Amino acid sequence: MFDEAAEPTLAYAERQDRADGLARFREAFYLKPGTVYMDGNSLGLLSKPAERTFLEALEDWKEYGIDGWTRGRHPWFALSERLGGMMAGLVGADADEVIVTGSATVNLHQLVATFYRPHGARTKLLADELNFPSDLYALQSQLAVRGFDPDGSLVCVKSPDGRFLDEDAIIEAMTEEIALIVLPSVLYRSGQLLDMERLTADARRRGIPIGFDCCHSVGAVPHAFDAWGVDFAFWCSYKHLNGGPGCPGGLYVNRRHLGTRPGLAGWFGSRKDRQFDMASSLTPAESAGAYQIGTPHVLSLAPLIGALGLVGEAGIEAIRRKSLGLTRYLMGLIGQELAGFGFRIGSPVEDARRGGHVGLEHDEAARICKALKERGNVPDFRAPNMIRLAPAALYTSYREVWDVVQVLRDIMEKQAFKAYPNERDIVA
């Protein structure tokens, strides 16, 4: 079940920290004294390189004005393509298959508008009931604008326990009625990591395009989209990639689909040498850049230049190893230190099935989260009963994991959580 080498002791944490090859990256982040930040799966912390490249973009605007599109430290005109190239290695793709643009939901709309091609009996979309609600809203609206009833045309695979998805059940739902499949790589509540390679292989055998929402995996888990044959994927950049609030997301389109006309057209999807022809007909880029819609949000993109530099320097394989070590240690501590307090681990214990966070269930979860924050420990809450704890490989130490669990134990022993209402804040 748990790795026996991950001893649930303080001495183990201290040994791991001394041997940690990624420990030096802590100094690159703005860590608030007296606070242990365990919410990197919602919003990663600001790094000094991200701050620097943001300020450089401001200087380019100040110095060059409109000429910043082609001059300066980080010329804006091809910045989305440059960042796509920096992200490509994280997802197992070539640079021209990835573009940094839009938000996750806008990119989902773009990709569904492109790849959803109902015909004959194949008219339905396949998703799951545990997916992030924004994805379901987008899929429902895409069906509605095509004239289909979302209630009947969106097939959502049921969870057997409210935590996890059964991949056999997903494959069974890949029927001759399904025109397109959109699934999460990692479930946002429980942290379950789906077997994308297996699901893609089964979808392709049935002739059904498949794409993945990778918001909770890119930057924490290595991917091999090209090798797996994934049709498309999309993700955000402000969680494990530490790009900052509102940082544009990314999307991937497999090479075999490059040249497919985007479902939603906009002038930044133009071939670069034709964009300023101002022609009334679009000449799409021959890369994933074709799936851009509007002008890039340059000042929101700029921190990602520095943030991705850190991720690239650390290496996604090393990040994954430490992430698994931290979450494995965290679960071991929970089992030892919090036994008898009513907690349940709501995440997979197997490394191959777990993303970058641990879901801790408790009937008093909302108020426990408030008590944790009051004590300088930042988790987040997901209804109805989930405390999510995300130790980030680049800036979380094993000692901090130990400390958070000790604070949790103290809160429960003293019943300090009872000072707070058991309800979420407006922003959870």
Tell me if 101 sits within 8 A of 291, measured CB to CB.
yes
Scanning the structure block, which residue is given the tokens 């929101």? Answer: 300
Tell me if 345 sits within 8 A of 334, measured CB to CB.
yes
Phi, psi at 29, each rounded to 5°: -110, 155
Which residues on neighbouring strands pair with residue 377, listed in sequence order? 36
The H or E element spanning position 235 is strand 232-235
235 annotated as ligand-binding: no
238 annotated as ligand-binding: yes
Three-class SS state of 334: helix
410 annotated as ligand-binding: no
Q: Which residues contact 24 (CB under 8 A, 6 or more apart)?
A: none
Phi, psi at 37, each rounded to 5°: -95, 115
Three-class SS state of 346: coil
Three-class SS state of 13: helix
295 annotated as ligand-binding: yes
Burial status of residue 398 (CB atoms within 10 A of its CB: 0-12, 13-18, 19 or more): buried
The H or E element spanning position 345 is strand 344-345
The H or E element spanning position 282 is none
* DSSP code string of 120-166: TTB-EEEEETTS-HHHHHHHHHHHHHTT--HHHHEEEEPPSSSS---
Comparing CA positions, the residue from 133, 323, 82 lying closest to residue 219 is: 323
216 annotated as ligand-binding: yes
134 annotated as ligand-binding: yes
213 annotated as ligand-binding: yes
135 annotated as ligand-binding: yes
CB count in 10 Å sphere of residue 261: 10
Annotated binding-site residues for pyridoxal 5'-phosphate read: 105, 132-135, 213, 216, 238, 267, 295
Annotated binding-site residues read: 105, 132-135, 213, 216, 238, 267, 295
